[in-house]
Every structure is written in C-alpha cells, then in structure tokens.
Amino acid sequence: MNDSFAKIRNYILETRLWILLVAINLVGTAYGFYFYADQLRETSILLWIFVADSPLSTLGIAAAVTLRKLGKQNRYLDAYAFLANLKYGLWTAIVLLIYFQGFTSINSMGMYLFLFFSHLGMALQAFLIEEVDLKALTVVGMFFVANDFLDYFFGVHPFIPSDNIVYAGLTAVFLTLIGLLAGWKNRD
C-alpha cells in the first residue's frame, strides 16, 4: 500500500477522527435506507440484505472500525466492509456516469454530485481495513456473487433510470472480481 495512504489511514484510526468517520457512515447508512425505502417496501423481507447495498456497506465499515477500536476485530466483517465499500462505492460512481442523463433528469445536479463523490469516498475508505483474511474474503466473495446473480437475474438491483441495465450488471460482476483481487493483495 502507498506510504502516504497508510499514514492517512493510521492518522484517522489512531486519533479521534475514527469517531467522525463512524458518525458520517452512520448518517450515510440512515440516508441510504431512506433512499431505498420504496424498493424495500416492494421487496420480500428475505431479500432485503441484497437490496440496500450502499447503506449496508457504510454500516459495515462503521461496525468494522468500531470493533477494531474496541479490540474485537471480526475478520468476516472486515472482509465484508472492505469488499462492499470498494465495490459499491465504485459501482455507484460508474453507474452514475454511464446513466448520467437518466440520473440527472430525476435528481438535482447537487444531489447527483453528492451521490457521486460520497460513493467515491466509500471506495477509498475500504482501504481503512488494513488486512483482509483470505478465507473470510472467499466467503464474502461468494455472497457478492450471489448478490450479483439476484440483482441481474431477478431484478433485485437498485433503481437504474434505463431499460438497458447490461452495463450496470457487467460493472457489478467486474467490480466483484476486482474487489476480490484487491482484497487478496491486501490480505494477512
């Protein structure tokens, strides 16, 4: 990992900034569930874990950082937080770019930019998880493959303002693989 990023990561995690990071992620989680409220109402409760990808990602990183600070690290939560924030942070930013016209027709430019940059921040914060356990990453990776399958074969994916969701689906699968490779490189 880049020394500059390692210094930033250590500064955040070794000072009280980690509390601000957790708070920001919890606010993002709450907003994310608000954002997904209509879709959750229309989806079986059994599938909810596959619907609210970004809010569950930010909740995961908040929990992983908090547990780490409390000395109760969980390797599966760390792997989930790493892969989820990297994947869904990048996926959302890419999908916002691919379907720019559709998203800007239903959101203000301010909201569009907020969603874009906050999700890029999610991808960056994935690397606050210093090391990822390979076994845990493998298990979590299987969950993400199942999630991609449900999203694009059974329509559980987040709302995309287009009838052509092929690019969104290909991006999701590609980012699952990239996330697994990045986690493998970042393993303990």
- Provide the whole-model pTM: 0.91
Most distant CA pair in the chain, distance: 47
Amino acid 186: pLDDT: 63
CA distances to 18, 21, 132 from 70, in Å: 12, 15, 18
Helices marked H in 15-99 — which ranges?
A: 17-35, 37-41, 53-69, 75-98
Domains of the chain, by residue range, sit at: 3-180
CA angle 130, 5, 8 (to 5 degrees): 90
Intra-chain end-to-end CA distance of the chain, in Å: 13
Region 53-69 average pLDDT: 97
Amino acid 31: pLDDT: 95
- When the pLDDT of each residue in the chain is averaged and rounded to a whole number, the result is 91
Residue 140 host element (H or E):
helix 134-153
Residues present in the chain in total: 188
pLDDT digits (tens, 9 = 90+) for 113-163: 999 999 999 999 999 998 899 999 999 999 999 999 998 888 888 888 778
In three state form, how does the secondary structure of 87-122 look?
Answer: HHHHHHHHHHHHCHHHHHHHCCHHHHHHHHHHHHHH
pLDDT digits (tens, 9 = 90+) for 140-150: 999 999 999 99
pLDDT at 42 over 70: yes
